[in-house]
Chain A
């Protein structure tokens, strides 16, 4: 792989990670008290957990199955999506049976996918709770994109000849740096692609372009020096 392609692919990976984080519905600390829609944890944490689970699947595929890179990327994406999907599903089980609230969004009046009425199901004094279908689907998309982004970083670094362990190490650092940039843009909570905050995405993409561009340039530049 030539250096320019590698740098471009790494930048794409960084941007994919940022896009992914914006898709994942996180409610931060308020969601843990059923005060906000989304998964009850921090943005960086959940995205990193999902992305790294995908990295484990991708790493396995890349070294043993001897398959095309795109299968590796898809496998990483599916691994991440499974992690985030199961987490959201059981999260909802706890919201519904443990807390007794229906999953509902407070940012839209009607769920854009199912067209269900939302606002009357929001318990008083909260910003929604649980993970309604639109956020669930958004999370699934986010998990997939994030898994692909993380695996792409790993595959590119391997392809330029860095050994697997160091590639995974750099990929983890790269993932976290980009996830934090996205988290700063989100500032706390986001419900998914229907959230008004999602419109801020271009700013995060631009930031990721600059930061991942620099990291990619020094890493790939160093290797090809």
Chain B
């Protein structure tokens, strides 16, 4: 069996996916999801939409910045998204509770997180002199997405987004579980699709699949906090995951060269 090296030419030029549109979806859908899901535990499953949107936005940010090759690998960017958001989320929710404005707490946490990201971006771009033009924008975006992902998870798991939720989750350590599934969800799509024929659309499809996997995990944990209501989250996550995972695998199989088995093909040496 011989596969020619010219296979690459068949890859079509894809149409551009607008980063601003993804950012808008990430912010708006997440906030709507966070607020609606906190109304009642029966609506907690709606937080799933927030998880998906925030994860998609973060993964897109990771892709945009990591495409430049930052020398430390894709994972560090993803870890930074959540790591930078930790302090801001704590401060935002705590201040919200102390001032008695719980409603504004997510917005405050989101803004503080964006500022943290902005500062990291400015430092990286202008002090550390990294030659990556999108650095400032992307660092701001991924830290913002990290904060939204945290709060979407809080609301899906416990049914509320306030400081009480953070405290409950932190005391049992589950908050670190949220941290790492969120970080992996954001960094995995680009890390897994890295290569010469990486395509934006395919990477985002994988981002949706990792987001759905997070919904399933959130559903498992929320059994402890919310009881049988969380079956809804689990079901939605399972359906979303099957759809998105199938979609990603189909796309990859269409774009790659799939053989069920065989020896290594001969390639003409350049």
Contacts and interface: CB of A to CB of B under 8 A. Distances in A.
In their complex, do chains A and B touch, with some C-beta pair under 8 Å? yes
Interface of A: 28-29, 42-45, 48, 163, 165-166, 169-170, 172-177, 180-181, 183-188, 200, 203-204, 206-207, 210-211, 214-215, 218-219, 221-223, 225
A214 B112 CA distance: 9
Contacts of B94: 222-223
B91 A188 contact: no
Q: Which 10 A-B pairs have the closest CB atoms?
A: A173-B86, A176-B83, A207-B123, A187-B71, A222-B91, A218-B91, A215-B87, A183-B72, A188-B71, A180-B80
Contact of B91 (A175, A183, A207, A219): A219
Contacts of B252: none
Nearest to B72: A183
Given A169-B175, A172-B179, 4 more contacts: A177-B84, A184-B70, A218-B88, A218-B112
Contacts of A187: 70-72, 130
Interface in B137-191: 166-167, 170-173, 175-176, 179
A177 B80 contact: yes
Nearest to A207: B123
B99 interface: yes
A206 B127 contact: yes
Contacts of A221: 91
Choose among A172, A176, A222 the residue with the greatest number of B CB atoms under 10 Å from its CB: A222
A176 B87 CA distance: 11
B128 A211 contact: no
Contacts of B87: 170, 173-174, 177, 215, 218-219
A176 B72 contact: no
Interface centre among A170, A185, A215, A221 (most CB of B within 10 A): A215
B127 A222 contact: no
Interface string B91-127: 1101100110000000000001001100110111001
Contacts of A170: 86-87, 90
A200 B124 CA distance: 13
A29 to B, nearest CB: 8
Nearest to B73: A42
B176 A215 contact: no
A203 to B, nearest CB: 5
B86 A172 contact: yes
A203 B127 contact: yes
A180 B122 CA distance: 14
Given A184-B130, A207-B127, A211-B123, A173 B72 contact: no
A173 B76 contact: no
B73 A180 contact: no
Contacts of B166: 166
Contact of B124 (A166, A184, A188, A223): A184
A169 B205 CA distance: 31
Given A185-B128, A207-B123, A214-B115, A180 B83 contact: yes
B56 interface: no
A59 B83 CA distance: 20
A12 B96 CA distance: 28
Interface string B59-88: 000000000001111011101101111111
B76 A166 contact: no
Nearest to B113: A218
Question: Which of A169, A172, A181, A210 gathers the greatest number of chain B CB atoms within 10 Å?
Answer: A169
Nearest to A187: B71
Contacts of A181: 120, 123-124, 128
Contact of B75 (A45, A166, A174, A225): A45
B90 A219 contact: yes
Contacts of B88: 215, 218
Contacts of A206: 123, 127
Contact of B171 (A44, A165, A177, A180): A165
Among B87, B112, B129, B179, max chain A CB count under 10 A is at B87
7 contacts: A44-B79, A166-B170, A177-B84, A181-B123, A210-B127, A215-B87, A225-B98
Contacts of B129: 203
A225 B95 contact: yes
